[in-house]
Amino acid sequence: MAEPHLHPEAIWSLIDGRHGDPFAILGPHMTEAGPIVRAFLPGASAVTLLSGRNAVPMTRIHPAGLFTGGIEPGPYRLRIDWNGTIQETEDPYSFAPLLGELDLHLLREGRHQDIGRCLGAHPMVVDGIAGVRFAVWAPNARRVSVVGDFDSWDGRRHPMRLRHEAGVWELFIPRLLPGTVYKYELLGPQGQLLPMKADPIAWQAEPPPATGSIVADTGRLVPPRPLKASGDPALKPISVYEVHPGSWARGDGNAPLDWEELGDKLIPYVKGMGFTHLEFLPIMAHPFGGSWGYQPLGQFATHAPFGAPEHFSRLVERCHEAGIGVILDWVPAHFPTDVHGLAQFDGTALYEHADPREGFHQDWNTLIYNLGRQEVRNFLIGSALHWLEHYGVDALRVDAVASMLYRDYSRKQGEWVPNIYGGRENLESISFLKELSEIIAERCPGKLLIAEESTSFPGVTRKAQDGGLGFDFKWNMGWMNDTLRYMERDPIYRRYDHGLMTFGLVYAFSEKFMLPISHDEVVHGKGALPAKMPGDEWQRYANLRAYLSFMWMHPGKKLLFMGCEFAQPREWNHDRSLDWHLLDEPRHAGMQRLVRDLNELYAGMPALHALDCDPAGFRWVVLDDTEASVFAWLRFGPGGAAPALVVCNFTPVTRQGYRLGVPQGGDWQEVFNSDAGIYGGSNTGNGGRVFAWDEASHGLEASLSLTLPALGTLVLTPSTH
């Protein structure tokens, strides 16, 4: 029978899961007959109202499971009989709204910088009752419900309250615990039932192929103690070890290591190798492991196969205790089309552009964030702050910036939409990146923002207030492409491509650059680093030793992908461990030692890092010896720091008596030789020391005569003795 205070259509829309305002029907209400409680509990055989010492059976007013009962004013509980199984709980529809007016105002304006704690699922205590508050942005949905095992995945059981002013739905469900798996069930704007959606702001997710969100125990996430850092990072040595956490090393049965196991092995290794920073490929929750994390759906959740969120937080703290900074790759450019994710989230193009000419990446089959929408910008900036503040990471490396900057990126004529001025620049993305950098600089001083950006877009590392994008460093993709092309040439032909090695210095100080040899260079048929090098086996490894040494001595911060430090000869495979057994072979152990020594030299000599981004720190000595394929330059440090002379011979010919100018006479010490026997070389060199005569050469007041080892790089510095 129908309750006289309810219109039959209201009852029908509730039991049919179409009612958009459940609090108008459910929970406590004052009627002419006095206070009553209504509860919709499909499948329940009986319900009793518990108020103080009173127990009042509720009346079933609809066979689908709608109950009503009179009650005295005050707190109450529901005792629910699920056909013999008794559940006792508070009524979700007895709680007042929890999101405050300021939260809603900031969400509406797209300025809520702690959106990760405002939206999503958060354990909390309300009116003395422990439970979980859920909140999700879905402004165009007709109804949103929380579903999970706790309500048999029935979207009629826990429909949420719409806070109209911000398009946010919220609900507090008492007695739920951390670890609960849940999703959202939505009706779209035409009343259509959508595929169940994972929570965009969940802090934890199920491991793939499962797609549920998990209520994280956010109280256990204590931000790690920060890494001690001060001063301008451009003046510091920065040497980054890039790692895919699922394949650096594997455990029994080829299982990926979890964060604890990985930290036990990886942190002492990175520390012992002398790298200053550890960079992880994206660790945000992603449905397909073969994307390496570059197609994330959980911008606030750690990837479940590696362990719980608090375990990643502990790994960051352990890195900081070892003096290692942590960098995360972060992807604000695009997201995958999986139906449980952000695509058509509320039945409309909410996070993405509706027009595929703006909203679909043809190269990656992904959707492009609509950065002209303030709520989407807020979502992404909130994600960036989430990793920097809640997990204490030291930097974000922003992926695919070039694709964000240009509307015609990888598109033919007619496949893209010009900006309001008719140009190709993506003004919304540019504005977003500037806003991002300014907020991070204000809220997270000392944290870095690094751009993977492959074009000549001006001012990437100029401050936003000065007209730039505000990044701290930019990957120098041009340098990487040019120098690898040169190294792939047979040495007999390198004379014709000499400029590939020198061109990077034409623009080396136009931005603050990082020199990357990343994962992208050792996959998809490109070959591992040793395979790129020409010649017989000895020459290939000599070429690689000389090249890595060239890189470490070149202006710019350094980044090297895992496995490259010991010259793994096969391409990287994300489904298996690196070939650590190769370190039993001298040529691989020698390469590893070379990289360790390069890091030590780079960090220990101010001339090799302090002016990485300043033209005052560099001077060519020889840049035009194309016949011999020799390059020589000087690196200078601030103040009275000792200079360093770097000489590279990229032919398999030893050169005797090679004369070079230097800024001062006297003894010069050969502090590094890539041809040393300990690295697998032939031990050709200058006996560790050479004398510079007061005879001018190359525009410098003194000169010295060197033996240049075949396919070798030397570093010399004035002797202090």
Instruction: Give residue 93's identity as a one-letter amino acid code.
Output: Y
Q: What's the full length of the chain, in residues? A: 721
**Per-residue model confidence (pLDDT) at position 2:** 46
Instruction: Give residue 565's identity as a one-letter amino acid code.
Output: E
The answer to whether 482 and 516 are in contact (CB under 8 A) is no
Over residues 528-546, the pLDDT tens digits come to 999 999 999 999 999 999 9
- Distance between CA atoms of residues 720 and 668, nearest Å: 9
Q: Among residues 242, 317, 352, 399, which one is catalytic? A: 399
Selection from 256, 260, 267, 261 nearest residue 309 by Cα? 260
Q: What is the chain's percent helix, strand, coil content, to nearest 5?
A: 30, 30, 45
Q: Which residue has the tokens 């090393």?
A: 249
Cis peptide before 22 (omega within 30 of 0): no
The answer to whether 601 and 671 are in contact (CB under 8 A) is yes
Q: Is 716 exposed, middle or buried (0-12, 13-18, 19+ CB in 10 A)?
A: buried
As a whole number of Å, the end-to-end CA separation of the chain is 102
- Distance between CA atoms of residues 535 and 148, nearest Å: 61
Instruction: Give residue 89's identity as a one-letter amino acid code.
Output: T
**From residue 452, how far is each of 89, 142, 250, 517, 556 by CA, in Å?**
51, 40, 28, 12, 14
Please, which residues have CB within 8 angstroms of residue 264's CB and are 6 or more apart in sequence? none
**Per-residue model confidence (pLDDT) at position 191:** 94
Q: Is 683 exposed, middle or buried (0-12, 13-18, 19+ CB in 10 A)?
A: exposed
- Distance between CA atoms of residues 267 and 691, nearest Å: 42
Tokens linked to 114: 């702690």
**Per-residue model confidence (pLDDT) at position 15:** 92
**Per-residue model confidence (pLDDT) at position 72:** 84
Selection from 143, 218, 132, 142 nearest residue 182 by Cα? 132
**Per-residue model confidence (pLDDT) at position 1:** 40
**Per-residue model confidence (pLDDT) at position 5:** 67
The answer to whether 513 and 474 are in contact (CB under 8 A) is yes
**Per-residue model confidence (pLDDT) at position 576:** 96
**Per-residue model confidence (pLDDT) at position 74:** 87
The SS3 assignment for 42 reads coil
Q: Is residue 109 flagged as an active site residue?
A: no
**From residue 425, how far is each of 399, 428, 528, 557 by CA, in Å?**
18, 9, 35, 28
Alpha helices in 518-659 (DSSP H): 529-532, 537-553, 586-604
Tokens linked to 463: 């401050």
Q: Which residue has the tokens 């190709």?
A: 424
Q: Among residues 452, 453, 565, 612, which one is catalytic? A: 452
Low-confidence ranges of the chain (pLDDT < 70): 1-5, 721
Q: Which residue has the tokens 């009179």?
A: 70
The SS3 assignment for 121 reads strand
Bridge pairing between strands 34-40 and 143-148: unpaired
410: left (phi over 0), alpha (psi -120 to 50) or beta: left
Selection from 624, 628, 700 nearest residue 660 by Cα? 700
- Distance between CA atoms of residues 120 and 168, nearest Å: 11
Q: Is residue 9 flagged as an active site residue?
A: no
- Distance between CA atoms of residues 709 and 628, nearest Å: 12
The SS3 assignment for 304 reads helix
pTM of the model: 0.95
Tokens linked to 51: 């108020």
- Distance between CA atoms of residues 124 and 330, nearest Å: 29
Q: What is the largest CA-CA distance in the chain?
A: 109
Listed as own residue / partner, the contacts of 227-231 with beta carbons closer than 8 Å and 24 or more positions apart are 227/319, 227/320, 227/323, 227/324, 227/325, 227/394, 228/323, 229/325, 229/394, 229/446, 230/446
Domains in the chain with CATH codes: 8-94 (2.60.40.10), 101-220 (2.60.40.10), 233-606 (3.20.20.80), 615-718 (2.60.40.1180)
**Per-residue model confidence (pLDDT) at position 721:** 60
